[in-house]
Amino acid sequence: MKIAILGFGTVGSGVYDILSNQTSPLLANIKTAKILIRKGKEKKLPIMTDSIEEIVSDPEISLVVESMGGLTPAYEYIKMALTHKKHVVTANKAVIAANIEEFEKLARENGVFLSFEASTAGGIPWIASVEKARRIDAITKFYGILNGTTNYILDSMDESGADFAEALAKAQELGYAEADPAADIDGIDVRNKVVISCAIAFNSVIDAARFPCFGIRNVTKTDFDYFKKDQCTIRLIGEAERVGDRYEAFVMPNSFHRDAMEATVRRNLNIVTLYGSTIGELKFYGQGAGKFPTANAVIQDILDIYSHKTEYTIDAGKKIGYDDALRKNRYVIRTKQRFDDPSFHTIDKFQDCYYHKTGEITIRQMMELVSRAKALDDRCFIIKEANFQGEKC
Ligand code: HSE
């Protein structure tokens, strides 16, 4: 099978390198015929071109790897490839989360497949495992550490007392961060991964704008010191739960006891957990970012399409409704100034901050408290107490 690679950055070059230095006989069947680079860039290999038309009109190319990232022109190029009846494999979570329904429909209409294992949890076979679990079980819930950059930052701050900016710079240097690190540190990257995971786990496309999304931009060393007193640490978690035709989802920092598996996930590693009605709890752990793990996941998708193992997995049009009072959780809100609310059971003064601890409240109640906290302190920090399976802190 001849393929084209759109974009020759971290992921695209990783796919090319693995395919060119094949160690598995299976890979001998996959040939990179063309690589799309930006106009004006040097063509370092004879197969490089700056013309997308040249790629989509080539009848010998049956699969396109989109590894440019971002929304534009990735959106247009994926549509062009699908309408020219080329399979598409991508690691681009932003474009998939925003357009999954449209792309799936277009793929079906053109008798080709759209695969995106590498978009969520990098090298961990998460999408394939959720698809497999779903063949038997209703998936009721998933949660996990789905962003390597923020885990690297939180782990460094926890372990070495590094400050936020220093830890972010190091994560960028190691190639984990998005081009715009706001997507990582404000939780947008995880939010995209939650939308994609929901589409597979719940067979329904949810609206990213509906559910709370908090990142780690405001986390401080004082926050780590505060939670350390109770043998806890901080991890950024994406999660969703479904009950009948309703769901709730979050992206937010959670406090975990040091004994919890999530607390032991170091550096840029990811961990993600699903609950199925008969399989129970399943955890998946590994490299969620980086050149070769992500490229590996792209190539797994290519091999599945090549060997006719791929199926359509999303029923376009199926919808579940967001419910911000589905479950109750406990939260901690840190501000410079103290404020009062009947839902707070404790307010701790620690160093020069106030830590307001709530009892069990809904997302709706939590969002009201956050609005009040933000009005008092635009650097406030909100964290949820993890309560997945006895992992309270
Ligand atoms: N910036 C992302 C991360 C890359 O750090 O996890 C992989 O999706």
Q: Can the peptide bond before residue 181 be classed as cis, meaning omega within 30 degrees of 0?
A: no
User: Do both 29 and 145 map to the same domain?
Assistant: no
Q: CATH number, domain at 139?
A: 3.30.360.10
User: Do both 59 and 202 map to the same domain?
Assistant: no
Residue 82 covered by a domain = yes
Helix boundaries (H) for 87-187: 93-110, 126-134, 148-160, 164-173, 182-185
pLDDT score of 313: 83
User: Do both 173 and 272 map to the same domain?
Assistant: yes
pLDDT score of 393: 61
User: Do both 106 and 132 map to the same domain?
Assistant: no
Residue 390 covered by a domain = no
Nearest CA to ligand 1 atom 7: 289
- What distance in angstroms lies between residue 165's CA and the mean position of ligand 1's atoms? 17
Residue 45 covered by a domain = yes
Residue 195 covered by a domain = yes
Contact, 246 vs 321, CB < 8 A?
A: yes
User: Do both 137 and 272 map to the same domain?
Assistant: yes
Distance between CA atoms of residues 204 and 196, nearest Å:
9
Per-residue pLDDT of the chain (393 residues), as tens digits, is 999 999 999 999 999 999 999 878 999 999 999 999 999 999 999 999 999 999 999 999 999 999 999 999 999 999 999 999 999 999 999 999 999 999 999 999 999 999 999 999 999 999 999 999 999 999 999 999 999 999 999 999 999 999 999 988 888 888 777 778 899 999 999 999 999 999 999 999 999 999 999 999 999 999 999 999 999 999 999 999 999 999 999 999 999 999 999 999 999 999 999 999 999 999 999 999 889 999 999 999 999 999 999 998 887 667 899 999 999 999 999 999 999 999 999 999 999 999 999 999 999 999 999 999 999 999 999 999 998 865 656
The response to whether residue 117 sits with its C-beta less than 6 Å from ligand 1 reads no
pLDDT score of 172: 85
Boundary of a domain, candidates 115, 142, 171: 115
Which residues are catalytic, by number?
193
Sequence-ordered list of residues with C-beta below 8 angstroms from that of 375, at least 6 positions apart, any chain: none
Contact, 247 vs 206, CB < 8 A?
A: yes
Residue 306 covered by a domain = no
DSSP character string of 332-391: EEEESS----TTEEEEEEETTEEEEEE-SB-HHHHHHHHHHHHHH-TT-EEEEEP-SSS-
Residue 277 covered by a domain = yes
Boundary of a domain, candidates 86, 115, 144: 115
User: Do both 13 and 144 map to the same domain?
Assistant: no
Domain range holding 52?
Answer: 2-115
In ligand 1, the atom with minimum distance to the C-alpha of 178 is 1
User: Do both 47 and 176 map to the same domain?
Assistant: no
Angle of CA points 366, 161, 270, to nearest 5°: 60
The response to whether residue 171 sits with its C-beta less than 6 Å from ligand 1 reads no
The helix (H) or strand (E) run that includes residue 241 is strand 232-243
Q: Which amino acid is at 188?
A: I
- Residue whose CB lies within 8 A of the most ligand 1 atoms, among 176, 251, 267, for a mutation test: 176
Residue 106 covered by a domain = yes
Nearest CA to ligand 1 atom 4: 289
Number of domains observed in the structure of the chain: 2
User: Do both 171 and 72 map to the same domain?
Assistant: no
- Residue whose CB lies within 8 A of the most ligand 1 atoms, among 95, 189, 191, 268, for a mutation test: 189
Contact, 246 vs 320, CB < 8 A?
A: yes
User: Do both 136 and 276 map to the same domain?
Assistant: yes
Q: What pTM was computed for the model?
A: 0.96
User: Do both 30 and 165 map to the same domain?
Assistant: no
Residue 352 covered by a domain = no
User: Do both 186 and 97 map to the same domain?
Assistant: no
Question: Does residue 31 sit in helix, strand or coil?
Answer: strand
User: Do both 230 and 104 map to the same domain?
Assistant: no
Q: CATH number, domain at 36?
A: 3.40.50.720
